[in-house]
Amino acid sequence: MKPSSAPPKTSQAKARNSVLLNLLATPGLGSLSAGRWVAGSGQLFLALVGFILVLVWFFKIIIPYYSIMFSETQPPPINWAVGVTGAGVFAVAWCWSLVTSISVYRAASEANLDSLKQFGAGQIRKDESKIQTAHPTLPDWRSDGQIISRTYEFKDFPAAMKFVNTVAELAEQVQHHPDIDVRWNKVTLALTTHDAGGLTEKDFALARACDACVSR
């Protein structure tokens, strides 16, 4: 894949995984998984260089101390320069990955609501032909007249309720509320615009935003 000048769109779930990889595993891995190829490669390179320098420093000070066991010579004084340099390089990689992680998470949050920003223009009811055109963009949703619905399945009840709470926050932000039916680990959302008497762009935009909340 070729690097792109524009940051790629990332779901919130993928963004969270990228942040965890960057900050709790290896700086740069999360950036690469989010499609930030240049930043991720640079961060990973610095992290590896820093780690290698610290490793070299560790062996340089530990080997002389082991030699004391077989001789009476005193070990040389510890040279901290290499170790401090390695730790500093790794810290730079970690801080850089932190900045990228914040950028990835913000971009995911903005993308999640990007299709909802034009809700003012989405009040016009769609006719049947426009519904048929818009529906293929939501293959997991079922169309029933002037209502679209989808059933999401999760591993357990807490996971289902977490999704419901996320959808509730989205709905409040855009003041468009789906009908929600919860059956233990299954959540069914049904969307229509009552004020318009049927489906509008608001329904399809909110459906896309709800799909983006689900980890794939």
Q: 41 in a domain, yes or no?
A: yes
Asked if residue 124 and residue 106 are part of one domain, the reply reads no
Residue 6 lies in a domain: no
Under a CB-based contact definition with an 8 Å cutoff, are residues 152 and 163 in contact?
Answer: yes
Domain edge (last residue) among 98, 114, 130: 114
Which of 73, 88, 114 lies at the terminal end of a domain, its last residue? 114
The phi, psi pair for 191, rounded to 5°, reads -125, 135
Listed ranges 14-28, 136-150, 159-173, 195-209; the one with the highest mean pLDDT: 159-173
Q: What is the CATH number of the domain that holds 164?
A: 3.30.1360.20
Same domain, residue pair 98 and 59: yes
In-domain check, residue 82: yes
Using 50, 70 and 90 to split pLDDT, how confident is the model at 177? confident
Task: Say yes or no: 90 and 142 in one domain.
Answer: no
Kindly report the number of other CB atoms within 10 A of residue 146's CB atom: 19
User: How far apart are the C-alpha atoms of 126 and 207, rounded to whole Å?
Assistant: 15
Q: How many domains does the chain have?
A: 2
Sheet bearing 179-183, strands edge to edge:
142-144, 147-153, 186-191, 179-183
Q: Is residue 3 part of a domain?
A: no
In a shared domain, residues 56 and 29:
yes
**Of the residues 114, 141, 165, the one at which a domain ends:** 114
Amino acid at 17: N
Identify whether 135 is part of a domain.
yes
User: What pLDDT sits at residue 137?
Assistant: 75
Please report whether residue 1 resides in a domain: no
Q: Mean pLDDT, to the nearest integer, of 118-137?
A: 62
User: From CA 111, how far away is CA 9, in angstroms rounded?
Assistant: 7
Verify that 126 and 182 share a domain, yes or no: yes
90, 123: one domain: no
Cβ atoms of residues 98 and 168 within 8 Å: no
Are 96 and 182 found together in one domain? no
Position 8 scores a pLDDT of: 56
Classify residue 89: in a domain, yes or no.
yes
pLDDT digits (tens, 9 = 90+) for 82-99: 889 999 999 999 999 999
Alpha helices, DSSP H only, in the chain? 12-20, 29-33, 37-67, 81-114, 128-134, 157-174, 201-212
Domain around 28: 12-114
